[in-house]
Amino acid sequence: MSPETIAGTIQKGMGGTLGFVAVVVALGAMFGKVMEETGALDQIAHTLLNKFGKENANWALTFTGFICALPLFFDVAVVLLIGIAFAVVRRGGGSVIKIGIALLAGIATCQAFLIPAPGPILVASQLHADFGYMIFIGLLASIPAMILGGPIWGSLIAKSVHVELPEHAQLDDNEREGHSTPTFSLAIALILLPLFMIGLNTIGGRFVEPNSDLHHWLEFIGHPFTAITVACLAAFYMLGVRRGVSNERVMEICTAAIQPAGVIILVTGAGGVFKQVLIDSGVGAALGNMLAGSGLPIVVLAFILAAAVRVIQGSATVAMLTACGLILPMLEPLGLNGAQLAAVTIAIGGGSIVFSHVNDSGFWLANRFLGLSEIQTLKTWTVMETIIGTTGAIVALIVSFFL
Percent helix, percent strand, percent coil in the chain, to nearest 5: 80, 0, 20
d(CA 287, CA 278): 12
The amino acid present at 227, given as its one-letter code, is: A
Q: Which residue, 397, 396, 369, is CA-closest to 167?
A: 369
pLDDT (tens, 9 = 90+) of the chain, 403 residues, equals 888 888 888 888 888 778 877 887 788 778 878 887 887 877 777 777 778 887 888 898 898 888 777 656 677 778 778 888 888 888 776 789 999 999 999 999 988 898 766 678 777 877 888 877 888 888 899 999 999 999 999 999 999 988 888 766 666 555 556 556 788 888 888 878 887 887 787 677 778 888 888 888 988 988 878 888 998 999 999 988 888 888 888 898 888 878 767 766 776 677 677 767 767 877 656 665 666 666 778 889 889 988 988 888 787 877 887 787 777 777 777 777 878 888 999 999 999 999 989 888 889 888 988 889 999 999 999 999 999 999 999 999 999 888 7
The amino acid present at 199, given as its one-letter code, is: G
Return the pLDDT at 222. Answer: 83
Burial class (CB in 10 A: 0-12, 13-18, 19+), 111: buried
Q: Which residue, 68, 104, 72, is CA-closest to 85?
A: 104
Return the pLDDT at 148. Answer: 95
Return the pLDDT at 149. Answer: 93
Domain enclosing residue 52, as ranges: 3-400
Sign of CA dihedral 332, 337, 338, 343: negative
Return the pLDDT at 391. Answer: 95
Return the pLDDT at 169. Answer: 64
CB 345 within 8 A of CB 123: yes
Q: What does the chain come to in residues?
A: 403
**The pTM is what?**
0.69
d(CA 129, CA 125): 6
Return the pLDDT at 294. Answer: 66
Return the pLDDT at 89. Answer: 87
The amino acid present at 150, given as its one-letter code, is: G
Residue 373 neighbours by CB under 8 Å, 6+ apart: 367
The amino acid present at 121, given as its one-letter code, is: I
Burial class (CB in 10 A: 0-12, 13-18, 19+), 45: buried
d(CA 27, CA 33): 10
Q: Which residue, 38, 346, 68, 309, is CA-closest to 199?
A: 68
Phi then psi for residue 115, to 5 deg, are -95, 145
Return the pLDDT at 57. Answer: 86
CB 298 within 8 A of CB 330: yes
d(CA 347, CA 176): 46
d(CA 125, CA 144): 25
Distances (CA, A) of 307 to 34, 207, 347: 38, 34, 10
Q: Which residue, 348, 353, 292, is CA-closest to 127?
A: 348
Return the pLDDT at 15. Answer: 85
CB 280 within 8 A of CB 290: no
Residue 182 neighbours by CB under 8 Å, 6+ apart: 38, 39, 40, 43, 238, 239, 243
d(CA 218, CA 233): 19
Q: How many CB atoms lie within 10 A of CB 244?
A: 11
By three-state DSSP, how is residue 394 classified?
helix
Return the pLDDT at 383. Answer: 95
Total number of domains in the chain: 1
Q: Which residue, 59, 124, 54, is CA-closest to 92?
A: 54
d(CA 363, CA 377): 7
